[in-house]
Every structure is written in structure tokens, then in C-alpha cells.
Structure 1
Amino acid sequence: MDSADLKAQTKKIQYLGSHAHQRAVDSDRPQHHSKSYAQRLENNQSPPLYTQYPTWQVSMPKRVSSHTSPSESPLLPPKRENKSLLSASPPPPIPEDLLKQSCGNLVTWLGGPYAVLLQIAAPGIALGSCTHSRFQTHPISRFRRTAAFIMAVVHGTEEQKALICGAIKKQHSFINGPSYTATDPELQKWTAATLFVAGQLTQDLLSVDQNPMPRAQKEVLCQQFGRFATALDMPAEMWPSSLEEFEAYFDEQIRTIEITEASKKVANILLREMELPWLLIWTLPVMRVLMAVWLPARIRMAFGLPDPRGWLVWAAYWVVVLSIWCANWLMSGRVKVVIVSWMKKDMARAAEDIRVHGRWMI
């Protein structure tokens, strides 16, 4: 076959193909209706489907070929991927040392009075404070020693931690009586437990962001707070192994702890008779307002604090809380860093004094 015949055959095939395509298109078109659109409306008959809506609003299903599997049928809705599971961001990683972050937050330190009042509810701690502590006449010195101990455990070197904890254990060895001793591991456990609860309470209530810590992080932080007890020779196995176990222990202590006259006496000194500098006298009524709302009812009534359901106490409480929020929000991060740095330096000076003189100099 020469080239002329090949071209002729090609044109013939194209011609027949175009006519076949036109016939297929014509067969898909709707047939002409004998009745007009107006006649159908008069007879209450609906117009043909293709005249009811514009063609761009009608999506006719495609023909399913014999080669199409049921799962690939265009009549079935398309499969959609669950992007919510794929795009969900993983939970944020837990910081290695939440204890440093917690103690570096100044709001945490506002829970100090709450922790101390819970501690002195224990008879042994109350008796030891009555007979061996100078907290009433030297409150600033007492606070600096407590802060030095916390900073040594959290931020100090091994030498600083050993010096400060050694000085505290040496003092505790002389604090004992017929029914108590400062080296009792149960009292050390209770002291560390109150620090953890007080820190969580103040962070949840007084932080500016008002974002409570996730429970997974609380679980880790609870174990890290056990360092304050083990640093004073409490056996590590005595500390609760989980947050749930800790909560059960703390609730049991609150229900069963015996509040003695010694506890009431120390609480009265802390809340009303502390010999503070005149610039800090205003902190006593503020502390009474906060403790009236925060303390458990059983301990609050024993310490002679007012009922928080009274409108005057409640109004004063929210004035105090809003003031703390504003102060925390207005305080720049640099100021907070300076305060924490000063506490670290004070801890380092205390450790150096103990190394040189063999005792506290603050």
C-alpha cells in the first residue's frame, strides 16, 4: 500500500470515528418533549429534570464501566483521610527538671505560709517549733535559711548541698523531746509533701496564664519534690511512688492529723504576732485572708481563721488575688531573674559560711 492509499484510509477512519462520537453524544441528549413547558405547568406536571436547574448545578453520575471495581465506583462517596489524627501534634515533652522551673517561679514561694501552717498542724513539728525555733523574733533569718536549703537542693553543687543539709541535720539532732524528734522521717516526709501541695496550689490559682499543669508533669514533679525529704535522710522508699498514692497519703493526713494546743499557739504567732519589719506588717492580714480560703476547714477552724463564705472575707480574698495577678503580670522577667539570682547567691554565701565557720551566719 502506497502513501496515498494510507492517507485515504486514515481520513476514512477519522471520518467514521467523528460520526460515531456524534451519534453517542446525540443518544445521551434528552428527547424532545411533545408538550411545551407552559402546557406541563398547566397540567400540574413537573418539567423535565434538565429544565428545572441550570446545567452547572446538576451533577449526573458517570457511567460505571465493567472494569470498575465496587470500591472504585464513582457513585460511592470518596474516601477521606482522617487528617485530625494525622495532623494532631504530639504532646509537649516533659522538661528534665520541673523542680527548677517550679522553684524559679516566684508565685510558688507565695505558698510558703500555707505549707508552714500545714506543717505545724503535725504535733511533733509544732512542739519542736515552740521550744527550739526563733521564728517569731527572727522571721527573716528563718526564711533565708529555708530558702537556702531549697536552693541548695535544686540549684546547688554537691558541696553546697552537703554543707547546708549537714548543718540542718546537725541542728535537728538537738531538737527532740518525749514525743517528738526532728530526725523523724515521717515528719520530713510530711514537710516535703506540704511544699509540693503549696507550690501546686499557688501556681494553679495565682499564675497569670491560668493554665494548670498537666497531670503527667505533676507526676514527675511529685517525685522530684521527694528530694527535699531524702536530702534530710528520709529513706527514698517512704516517698509515694505515684501521684495517686501521694494524694491518698495527703488526704489521709488531713483527715487524721491531731491539732494540739502547741499547733494553735504556733499558728497564732505566725498569723498575728510575727515581729516583722514595719515595711512588711501589711503581709499579716493578707496572709490571714489567703489562709482562710486555702486551708482545709478542719485546720482553718482550729487556727481561728474566719469562714471564707462571708462576703467580706471573699471580697478581700479576690482583691488580694487580683493584686497578685497584676503584680506578677507587670513584673518583668528580668526582675524575676534578679530575685532568683540573689537567692542563689545567698545560698552560696550561707554554704561558704558553714564551710568556714562551721555554722549558720544568717
Structure 2
Amino acid sequence: MSSEQSPPAPPAEHQPSEAFRKFAAEGVVLAGGGTAILLQLAHPQVAAGVANHSNFADAPMRRLWGTLEFVTAEAFGNQTEQQFVRRRVNAQHARVQGLDEHQQRYDANNPHDQWWVAATLCWSAIRAYRRVYGRRSLTANDLDAIVRDFGRMGTGLRMPAASWPQTAAEFDRKFAAQLVALEVGDAARFAKAELFAARHAAWWLRAIMPFATRIAVSLLPPHLAAAYGHPQTRASRFIANLCWIPVVLAGRILPRTVRTLPATLVLNRVRTRAATRR
């Protein structure tokens, strides 16, 4: 792989935009993964589904791995690999049903909930990318293409295509409107504590969790960060900036072959699993 290449493109009929492929291949977008999960947990129905059907204490990376495999397959996989990750995710979602802490029914196949999950991935990835490369690193056309391709991924989760914005400006307006309705309840705080404690994970993963927490919380809107117990003060912003230094340096100094290595490794993992149907 040359220094300017991304992981291999899928066949033309399934190929997302070049802007999205270049964007999704960069390892720094992974820095938005924790933020996306916290935003998802701030949605009461999504929080209930995660809290009642995920085990962050024993497998804190399982949800993130599943998300990485899905996004990578949609961006770079062929039709077989895309169908494999879609079937697996949809099968998992079929079991996620019940009542939240307010006795409201949740269902992972609810189109509104699916929209929110896809939207948090899109918003958090763009925030992380711009945190490393600057706000002008993505043109208006790039942002529109990236938003549209995240919507295409959402339809793979059975989200109605018509519900997804076609421009970044429209997406920002709709996302901002959804932020108002969020609520960081007990289920969200419990799931967040389990995720970042990683009590039963490997020692090295537990060791980096304070760093991962700072990164994740720093991208949140301030009122949500405070609701999770991380008010944004001058000291907390200073610490967050220190945590971002190695991420920014890695994104700006490392050659592209290294920066895109996570996407390449995840794609290879998906291809192996799709070939063996695991």
C-alpha cells in the first residue's frame, strides 16, 4: 500500500464517495468512538437497550469493535462482507427489546433509534477528525458526501433512507434539535461507568481508560459532559488538551500507511469472519 492509499475500494456499485473513504480510513476518527457511545447512552431508549443487553464490565470493547467492523465493511468491503455485518448487527438488534427506566418501550429496530445511532457516529467522527486536522480540513462538498454515506450505512440497519439529511447543514440542524431531547439518566451513567472502568478487561486497557474518558468527554456538548459528571472547567479543558496531543501528533506526523492501519486490520478481520461466517 502506498503512502496515499486507503484500504481497497469495494466494487463500483457499492462504492461510497472518495471523500468518505479517505475520511473513514484515518485512524483518528476512532477517537470519536467513545463520544458516540456516550451520545447514544444519552438517548433513554438506546441507553436502556445498551444497559440491559450489553456487558461493558466484561467486554468493554465489544460494542466499539462491532461498530468498527460495520463502518469498515460499509466503507471498504464488498457486497458479501457488507451483507455479513448487516445480518449480524440486525440479528443482535432483534433481541434488544424491553422497557426503559421510565417504563417506555425500547426496540433496537426502532427507526428513530437507528437514526440516532447513525447520527452519533457521523457527528463524533467528524468532530474527532476536525480536532486533529482543523475545521478547514474538510470542504463543504466533503462534509456533504460524508454525511450522505453515513446515511447509506444507516439504511443498512433498516433506517428509512428518507429520514436522513442530504447535506451537512441539514444534518447539523437536525442533530442540534435532537440534542435538546437528550437525558443522561441512571441507566446512561451506569453504562458509562461500566464502560470506562473496564474492570475485567486486560490491564493495558484499564490503564488507558482514564485517557480514553478524557478524549470521549472532551468532544461532548458541555451540558452533556456535565451530566455525566465531567463539567468543563479550565482545568479539565487543559487536561483534555494534553490528552489530545499524542492523537494530534500521530495524525499529523505518521505516514498514511500507518494512520490507515487500523482500518486495514479491521477490514481483514471482517473478511476472515465473513468467509467463515463467524
Cα shift readout 1:66-121 (whole Å, capped 9, x = no counterpart) = xxxxxxxxxxxxxxxxxxxxxxxxxxxxx943221111011111110011100111
Q: Say which of 270, 288, 293 aligns to 2:218.
A: 293
Which is worse superposed, 283-292 or 196-205? 283-292
Whether 2:139 is the aligned partner of 1:218: answer: no
Task: Give the secondary-structure state (helix, strand or coil) at the position aligned to 1:256.
Answer: coil
Q: Say which of 318, 325, 331 aligns to 2:248.
A: 325
Per-residue deviation at 1:223?
Answer: 1.0
Residue 40 of structure 2 is matched in structure 1 by 119
2:276 counterpart letter in structure 1: D
Q: Say which of 152, 165, 178 aligns to 2:86.
A: 165
Cα shift readout 1:7-34 (whole Å, capped 9, x = no counterpart) = xxxxxxxxxxxxxxxxxxxxxxxxxxxx
Residue 239 of structure 2 is matched in structure 1 by 316
Task: Give the secondary-structure state (helix, strand or coil) at the position aligned to 2:200.
Answer: coil
Whether 2:188 is the aligned partner of 1:267: answer: no
2:172 counterpart letter in structure 1: E
Q: Say which of 196, 203, 209 aligns to 2:122.
A: 196
Per-residue deviation at 1:210?
Answer: 6.6
Residue 281 of structure 1 is matched in structure 2 by 206
1:148 counterpart letter in structure 2: E
1:1-362 correspondence to structure 2 within 5 Å: 96-178=17-99, 179-207=105-133, 211-305=136-230, 307-311=231-235, 313-354=236-277, 361=278
Higher RCO (C-alpha 8 Å, min separation 6): 2
**Judging changes above 3 Å, is the alpha-carbon distance between structure 1 residues 274 and 249 closer, same or farther for their aligned structure 2 residues?**
farther
Unaligned runs of 5+ in 1: 1-94, 355-360
Q: Is residue 31–residue 215 contact of structure 2 (8 Å, CA) maintained in 1?
A: no
Residue 9 of structure 2 is matched in structure 1 by none
Per-residue deviation at 1:337?
Answer: 4.1
Structure with a larger share of its residues in helix = 2
Q: Is residue 148–residue 350 contact of structure 1 (8 Å, CA) maintained in 2?
A: no
Q: Distance in 2 between the 1:153 and 1:350 partners?
A: 15
Per-residue deviation at 1:234?
Answer: 1.0
Q: Is residue 31–residue 216 contact of structure 2 (8 Å, CA) maintained in 1?
A: no
Q: Distance in 2 between the 1:187 and 1:322 partners?
A: 34
Q: Distance in 2 between the 1:141 and 1:255 partners?
A: 29
Cα shift readout 1:206-247 (whole Å, capped 9, x = no counterpart) = 13x774311222112111110221001111101123322211
Task: Give the secondary-structure state (helix, strand or coil) at the position aligned to 1:226.
Answer: helix
Q: Distance in 1 between the 2:213 and 2:268 partners?
A: 31
Cα shift readout 1:131-176 (whole Å, capped 9, x = no counterpart) = 1112321123433322211111111111111122112111211111
1:348 counterpart letter in structure 2: R
1:115 counterpart letter in structure 2: A
TM norm structure 2: 0.85
**Judging changes above 3 Å, is the alpha-carbon distance between structure 1 residues 196 and 277 closer, same or farther for their aligned structure 2 residues?**
same
Q: Is residue 292–residue 308 contact of structure 1 (8 Å, CA) maintained in 2?
A: no
Unaligned runs of 5+ in 2: 1-15, 100-104
> Which structure has the larger Rg?
1
Per-residue deviation at 1:338?
Answer: 3.6
Identity across matched positions, percent: 23
Task: Give the secondary-structure state (helix, strand or coil) at the position aligned to 1:177.
Answer: strand
Q: Is residue 173–residue 183 contact of structure 1 (8 Å, CA) maintained in 2?
A: yes
1:309 counterpart letter in structure 2: T
Residue 5 of structure 1 is matched in structure 2 by none
1:155 counterpart letter in structure 2: F
Task: Give the secondary-structure state (helix, strand or coil) at the position aligned to 1:180.
Answer: strand
2:180 counterpart letter in structure 1: R
Task: Give the secondary-structure state (helix, strand or coil) at the position aligned to 1:139.
Answer: coil
**Judging changes above 3 Å, is the alpha-carbon distance between structure 1 residues 122 and 167 closer, same or farther for their aligned structure 2 residues?**
same
2:114 counterpart letter in structure 1: Q
Cα shift readout 1:312-351 (whole Å, capped 9, x = no counterpart) = x232222112222223344333323443321111011221
Q: Is residue 59–residue 198 contact of structure 2 (8 Å, CA) maintained in 1?
A: no
